[in-house]
Structure 1
Amino acid sequence: MSSSTSPRRIYFKKVSKRVEVGHAQSKSDTALPEAAWRKWIDVVILCFVNLTNYTDRYNLAGILTDVQTYFDIKNDHAGLIQTIFVTMYMVAAPLCGYLGDRHDRKILLAFGVFLWNAANAASSFMTSFWAFLLFRGMFGVGQACYTTVAPTIISDLFVGNSRSKILAIFYVAIPVGGGLGYIVGSQMTQAFNSWRWSLRATPFVSILSLILLLLVLRDPKRGHSEGKTNLASTSWKEDVKYLLRNRSFMLSTMGFTAVAFSSGAISWWAPKLILMGLQSRESDINPHTEGSIYGFIALAAGFFGLCLGYFVTFKLKPKYPQIDPVVCALGLFISGPILIGTSYAATYSRLLCYTCLFFGLCMINLNWAIVCDILLYVVVPPRRSSAVGIQLLVGHGLGDAGSPYLLGLLSDIFYDRLNSHSSDSINEFKALQYAFFIACAVEILGSCFFFLTSFYILPDMERVKRPPSVA
């Protein structure tokens, strides 16, 4: 028998294929590989819940003007709504990551879903702005439980290109769910003539989510997809030391911070900025209609951007294995100037404005799945939930925890200064536009961090393939 058809060669081909699709097992694990369809059930559940996650997160942004009118608040307090949410989100993330590396992840996911939906529904009944902020903070804690832990379950089901593909599908929920959030918020407000109903639209779905998470979803062994289920958890101190020495993780986290800063500010203020620009030309613009249009564009741009990012990295990675951070860098570098053009186009051409918006959001959305994939293949399995938690803490703490409030505060300052020179009706738009430029500039800074990541990513990947034994 020739060597090309020998039983030994066939055997190793089969084993290699199992490792690629995430069925590799440790020597002590004698269970038969599970059917691929069963893993897809888990993926569908995680993606479905993630979709409702981001729908709930962004539904207020589409009706921000209505909320400001009800509570009689300026832009700085309007930005504080998002800042409180993100602050509690990023503070809770490391704790959720620590627990996710050591305890039943299904319970953590279910707790997060229950908490964020309960807080979301309760906030819709608040008449005090400060009570509303309190429940918005609880909403952030619940979402942190889910966002921190869910990607690590995917990492234990799939490996290699299969993992990259599934993460791209999972993170489609960011733009698609965000777009649906704008649409749901605008349409529910218009249908019931109250912004409160935008917060009451999705909590009913939480019952189905909890049933799926508790009764159907499985929690695989950590490292299962890479055949490293014998690795034990280490202390929090050792985890942090390991991550601080991981250059790819640290640099990509700073890049992610720039993405979080920019996308948080853009998603919160861009709908209002565009609306004011359009209203400077046409006084009869319907804000709820424009909110829905923004939602559809954000949805389409995000979906296309994530697919484009996956396609480019999938095609180029065999020849250029360090391509992931390069694609992230190029996406941010291109997105900034296009979004600046979007703000100018709003006062000249509706079509040009929304066209620029589509391509600007498309470029920034290249990043989401790729950044998570980078983290998962440069960090060893028993430290991945902690790594996600720390990345969320740093990224949101220095990013979108402050950017919506900062831009709102700066726009109020710019508005006062512009009005001191001339009381022009367009000054409110110009003030928010000038503040908006800061978010676009931070995108350029983020691209530099991702370019630096590309110099270190290959040796850090190799270290994960040969991890040190952990007791």
Structure 2
Amino acid sequence: MCVESDGCEIEGCGSDEVRTLSGSMSPGLMPEPDLRPCKPGQKFRAALLRCRTPAVAAGILSFGNVLNYMDRYTVMGVLTDIQLDFKVTDSAAGLLQTVFICSFMLAAPIFGFLGDRFSRKVILSCGIFFWSIVTVLSSFISTEYYWLFVLSRGLVGIGESSYSSISPTIIGDLFTSNKRTMMLSIFYLAIPVGSGLGYILGSGAKDAAKDWHWALRVSPVLGIIAGTLILLFVNEPRRGGRSRASISCSSWICDIKALLRNRSYVFSSFATAAVSFATGAFGIWMPSYLFRARVVQKMADPCMSGVCRSTDSFIFGTITCVTGLLGVVIGFATTRFCRKKTDRADPLVCAVSMLGSAIFICLIFVVAKKNIYGAYVCIFIGETLLFVNWAITADILMFVVIPTRRATAVAFQSFTSHLLGDAVSPWLIGLISDELQQSYATSALWQFLSLGYALMLCPFIVVLGGMFFLATALFFLDDKEKADKQ
């Protein structure tokens, strides 16, 4: 017998009722006299409740994260066209990402505070609806108002900040142990996959419509769908999986002080900033760098007007998708294996992968001048190693931070990683490139070399991030034990 929560009987659910040999229904299975058939609306609600499982919620949240990063990097896939259309320099183009990240990181602490105290799925849905609408509207901005286009990216950053700050904490409350690591791996797989799809979507929509503005009009439709699915199918889990009586919220100031005393959290946040610096710089400048390499090798003509060649954005996006998948899977499998050997496996795996990534990132700029395909190979290996730590870093946070501080912890880690990472790197790399180009006679070769010299800053920052992960390993067990006791 199937019974709805309000006491009505759902028709068609009693197919497994048992009758006695005399044909009468067993007394224990007779329908209760106060039950009544469900109305159509109640049946729909019952079916909806059956679909609200932790796995479904994690899948929807991961889908939303894909769209989050897809929208973010769609602009990067058509950056050369934007520069030509608005007639802006490398440093001015870099402001698009810098303004986006600045608004993203400034809004993160606010959403972290709200996420630890109010309905998280409502905040997520409102954030998705907001950035989707702003993205569509930004595609209609005239070329005379570049400042308005830059401002629109800042507003999109506010909307996406709500999602990135809160959604991992819901998954952290729905699952535990290795299951949580696996689900967070799937969730953070959306970062490289979504980023890569952003390049592919941007270049593909531009080529199909012969107009880069259409690149900004596809992902918002999917965003509206994702926001609606979150409202319908994602349950609001109790923070830490416990009752409200057994775990309570402390003041926001106390949360911040506790996080600053958490050494594993602080060092892993600095390491995450190093990752953000490299991925932010690569995300906006690597397609342009590869295109300039093709021009130097006489494989392509310089783009002076019209619709620019999008092959490199498409290839880089595809590489990012594949390496993201490999990196997250390798990170999950390696960490799960290494946990049998040492309890410090999580930060140590991150440190080794970061240091290995720095080697291949350096090789990109060595081989790109002579062999574009060799550069693709180095990018593939370097990004794979860099993406190994995405989900592991989130799991480290879940281990060393108590449940009622997790949204705040994720938000402030996002704030610091963006403040010291990709809020700075796109603009800084563009500025260095512009300064180097002004120092010598401008040519296709020097445009390529100047951008390459600027990007050489990235592997040194990645090595620094590896050092921070090693420091995290020193304090990881002590901080994890403190969190478990609390």
TM-score of the aligned structures, taking structure 2 as reference length: 0.86
Matched with 2:88 is 73
Conservation of the 8 A alpha-carbon contact between 2:52 and 2:234 = no
Relative distance call for 1:464 and 1:229 in structure 2 (3 A) is farther
Q: Distance in 1 between matches of 2:147 and 2:128?
A: 23
Q: Distance in 2 between matches of 1:219 and 1:213?
A: 10
- Superposed, 1:2-17 pairs within 5 Å as none
Q: Which range moves more in the overlay, 332-341 or 352-361?
A: 332-341
Q: Which amino acid aligns with 2:451?
A: L
Among residues 189, 211, 214, which one is paired with 1:194 in the alignment? 211
Among residues 288, 300, 304, which one is paired with 2:310 in the alignment? 288
Matched with 1:170 is 187
Q: Distance in 1 between matches of 2:74 and 2:336?
A: 33
Matched with 2:266 is 250
Among residues 455, 460, 468, which one is paired with 2:479 in the alignment? 460
Q: Which range moves more in the overlay, 93-102 or 211-220?
A: 211-220
Matched with 2:163 is 146
Q: Which amino acid aligns with 1:213?
A: I
Q: Which amino acid aligns with 2:329?
A: C
Q: Distance in 2 between matches of 1:406 and 1:303?
A: 29
Conservation of the 8 A alpha-carbon contact between 2:327 and 2:387 = yes
Q: Distance in 2 between matches of 1:60 and 1:135?
A: 12
- Superposed, 1:260-279 pairs within 5 Å as 260-279=276-295
- Superposed, 1:72-111 pairs within 5 Å as 72-111=87-126
Conservation of the 8 A alpha-carbon contact between 2:290 and 2:372 = no
Residue aligned with 2:248, SS: coil
1:222 aligns with 2:239: yes
Residue aligned with 2:187, SS: helix
Conservation of the 8 A alpha-carbon contact between 2:293 and 2:372 = no
Q: Distance in 1 between matches of 2:362 and 2:309?
A: 22
Q: Distance in 1 between matches of 2:440 and 2:181?
A: 48
1:241 aligns with 2:241: no
Q: Distance in 2 between matches of 1:233 and 1:307?
A: 35
Among residues 187, 202, 213, which one is paired with 1:185 in the alignment? 202
1:135-169 deviation per Cα after TM superposition (whole angstroms, max 9, x unaligned): 10010000000010000000110011111010000
Instruction: Identify unmatched segments of 5+ residues in structure 1.
Output: 1-33
TM-score of the aligned structures, taking structure 1 as reference length: 0.89
Q: Distance in 1 between matches of 2:289 and 2:376?
A: 12
Conservation of the 8 A alpha-carbon contact between 1:418 and 1:431 = no
Q: Which amino acid aligns with 1:435?
A: A
Among residues 42, 54, 58, which one is paired with 2:73 in the alignment? 58
Q: Distance in 1 between matches of 2:224 and 2:321?
A: 25
Q: Distance in 2 between matches of 1:229 and 1:158?
A: 20
Deviation at 1:416, TM superposition (A): 1.1
Deviation at 1:38, TM superposition (A): 1.4
Relative distance call for 1:111 and 1:44 in structure 2 (3 A) is same
- Superposed, 1:342-381 pairs within 5 Å as 342-381=364-403
Q: Which amino acid aligns with 1:57?
A: R
Among residues 190, 200, 206, which one is paired with 2:223 in the alignment? 206
Relative distance call for 1:37 and 1:203 in structure 2 (3 A) is closer
Deviation at 1:124, TM superposition (A): 0.8
Deviation at 1:186, TM superposition (A): 0.5
Residue aligned with 2:246, SS: coil
Among residues 438, 443, 458, which one is paired with 1:416 in the alignment? 438
Deviation at 1:278, TM superposition (A): 1.7
Residue aligned with 1:347, SS: coil
Residue aligned with 1:321, SS: coil
Q: Distance in 1 between matches of 2:197 and 2:275?
A: 21
Residue aligned with 1:305, SS: helix
Q: Which has the larger radius of gyration?
A: 2
Identical columns (%): 38
Q: Distance in 1 between matches of 2:140 and 2:84?
A: 16
Matched with 1:31 is none
Conservation of the 8 A alpha-carbon contact between 2:52 and 2:235 = no
Conservation of the 8 A alpha-carbon contact between 2:294 and 2:300 = no
Relative distance call for 1:95 and 1:105 in structure 2 (3 A) is same
Q: Which amino acid aligns with 1:432?
A: L
Q: Distance in 2 between matches of 1:446 and 1:438?
A: 13
1:382-417 deviation per Cα after TM superposition (whole angstroms, max 9, x unaligned): 000000111111110111111100000010001111
Matched with 1:114 is 129
Deviation at 1:73, TM superposition (A): 0.4
Deviation at 1:287, TM superposition (A): 2.5
Residue aligned with 2:78, SS: helix
- Superposed, 1:374-389 pairs within 5 Å as 374-389=396-411
Residue aligned with 1:219, SS: coil
1:444 aligns with 2:463: yes
1:101-130 deviation per Cα after TM superposition (whole angstroms, max 9, x unaligned): 000001100111011111111111111110
Q: Which amino acid aligns with 2:281?
A: A
Q: Distance in 1 between matches of 2:334 and 2:326?
A: 12
Q: Which amino acid aligns with 2:135?
A: N
Conservation of the 8 A alpha-carbon contact between 1:94 and 1:389 = yes
Instruction: Identify unmatched segments of 5+ residues in structure 2.
Output: 1-48, 302-307
Q: For the aligned residues, what is the CA RMSD?
A: 1.6
